[in-house]
Every structure is written in C-alpha cells, then in structure tokens.
Amino acid sequence: MGMVGGGRGAFIGAVHRMAANLDGKIELVAGAFSSDPEKSKLSGEDFFLDPNRVYGSYQEMAEKEAALPEDQRIDFVSIVVQNHLHFEVAKTFIEAGFHVVCDKPMTFNLQQAYELREIVNQSGKIFALTHNYTGYPMVKEARRMVRAGELGRILKIVAEYPQGYAVGDVEGDGQGKINNWRSDPKIAGVSNCMGDIGTHAHNLVRYVTGLEIDEICSELTAFIPGRELDDDGNNLVRFRGGAKGIIYASQISNGDENALNI
C-alpha cells in the first residue's frame, strides 16, 4: 500500500494505517505524506519506510512507483488528503495504473465525480470509497434480512449520525473544535456536517435497504457563529417505490460521539 497525505499531525491517515494492519495482509511501503517534502520525509521515518519510497509530492510518487518492476511497486494507494484534492490525486494514480482507495467525499463537486467515473471505467482499475460502516457484521445481517424479505415491505427509514465534538460555545463566538479546513468551503466543499458524516448515514440507508432517493428536502444550519458551513443537517426523503425517510446528522449534539443509527 502507498499513501497520499496522512503524515505527522493528521488524524484519518493513522486510522487508515491501523485498519490496513488488522488482518496482516497489507503493508505500507511508500507514500507522499505531506505537501511539504520535509514533513513527508519525517513522516516516512516515523513509519520506518525506505527513504527512496518516501516522496515529496503525489505526482512524483505516481511516476516513480509506476516505473518500478510490477512485483516491487505499490498495489494500490490510499488517499487521505483534504477534500479539494481528492479528484486530482485519484485521477493521477488511476491513469498511472494503480488501484485507489479514497476517503470520502469522492470528489469536490459533481462534475469531477462524473469525470472520475469515466476515467475509472476506461482504466479497468478499482476505485473504492471509504464508506467503512458497511463492513460491520450487523449491518451486513440487516442488509441480508431486508433482501430476504424478513422485515416485510420497507415503509419508513430513519437514519441518524449525531456527534457533539464541534458544539463549542453555542451562545457566544466560540468555533468549537471545527475551526480548521472542514469549515472552509474552498477546501471542504459545499457542506461540512452532511458532507462529512451525513454521507455515512445515507450510505447506510442505501446499503441496507437498496433504496435510492427520489426527492429530498434539506435544511442545513451553522449554529456556531462565524462558521461558513453547516454543523447540523435535517433531510426529509422520498425513496423510489414509495418509502419515506428522515436522515439527519449533527456535530453539535452534545453528549454524542459517533452515534450512527438506522
């Protein structure tokens, strides 16, 4: 496995590395861990990597890894950079001949998603998005029960993902713990809360029930003064086939950590 992003001080990169180690079948062997070449180098030292496989940019990494003999290069790359970079990094590695595991969101906007889909389809490579909750055994069992008709016709679906880590000072000027790139629309995109964790709730609905959304009415709110992007979202949903639903996510739900539920 190679990795782009996830160097010193990064959160989700460490999570990906721990997950990759769970079954002992994946080894981190290369990476461009930061846009700062020196930080990338230091991160490579932290991970005990061959210095020749630690790169100063993802472009250099894709080019040099592709030039290695097939039995020596990375098998796939894990992309854990900020949202606005997902498309370019994924495109670069797919076109260089590598499979890609990318953190969500898939891309920064819809047009990029369509373009990336076309690139992936033409390449024959695997592009995997980390909607990781589908891997839980009870989620798979719920999916099986729905597919087998054991729950009958699905009429109403409620999915929720409340967190409280970003509540901050609701009545004052506090930014909570979200005063970083996730609150910057130039980096995070059009949404913070729904784009970050609401996507997991929707993915859970889609995976378990197999139903697709036909219509949606959304209210996104930034409760904390000064935030440009939402820290709470409520969605009324109509599914194809007639089922109705509610999908909500919040990062100002005090007392909750990762209370994903369907």
Q: What is the pLDDT of residues 42-99, one digit of tens each?
A: 999 999 999 999 999 999 999 999 999 999 999 999 999 999 999 999 999 999 999 9
pLDDT score for 187? 94
CATH number at residue 112: 3.40.50.720
Q: What is the dihedral of CA 213, 219, 223, 228, to 10 degrees?
A: 80
| Helix H or strand E segment including 67 | helix 58-67
pLDDT surpasses 60 at 179: no
pLDDT surpasses 90 at 173: no
**Do 119 and 144 belong together in one domain?**
no
**Do 122 and 184 belong together in one domain?**
no
| Helix H or strand E segment including 80 | strand 76-80
- Choose the final residue of a domain: 130, 148, 176: 130
pLDDT surpasses 50 at 174: no
Which residue type does 152 have? G
**Do 110 and 168 belong together in one domain?**
no
- CA dist 88 and 85 (Å) reads 6
Do the Cβ atoms of 66 and 73 come closer than 8 Å? Answer: yes
**Do 116 and 166 belong together in one domain?**
no
- Choose the final residue of a domain: 114, 130, 146: 130
Q: Look up the domain containing 51 and give its range.
A: 2-130
- Convert the pLDDT of each residue in 189-216 to its tens digit: 999 999 999 999 999 999 999 999 999 9
Do the Cβ atoms of 223 and 168 come closer than 8 Å? Answer: no
In a domain, 221, yes or no: yes
pLDDT score for 170? 52
Do the Cβ atoms of 74 and 30 come closer than 8 Å? Answer: yes
pTM, full prediction = 0.90
In a domain, 258, yes or no: no
- Convert the pLDDT of each residue in 113-130 to its tens digit: 999 999 999 999 999 999
CATH number at residue 239: 3.30.360.10
Which residues sit opposite 80 in a β-bridge?
A: 5
In a domain, 72, yes or no: yes
**Do 160 and 54 belong together in one domain?**
no
pLDDT score for 141? 98
In a domain, 204, yes or no: yes
φ/ψ (deg, to 5) at 242: 105, -10
**Do 110 and 202 belong together in one domain?**
no
What is the number of structural domains in the chain?
A: 2
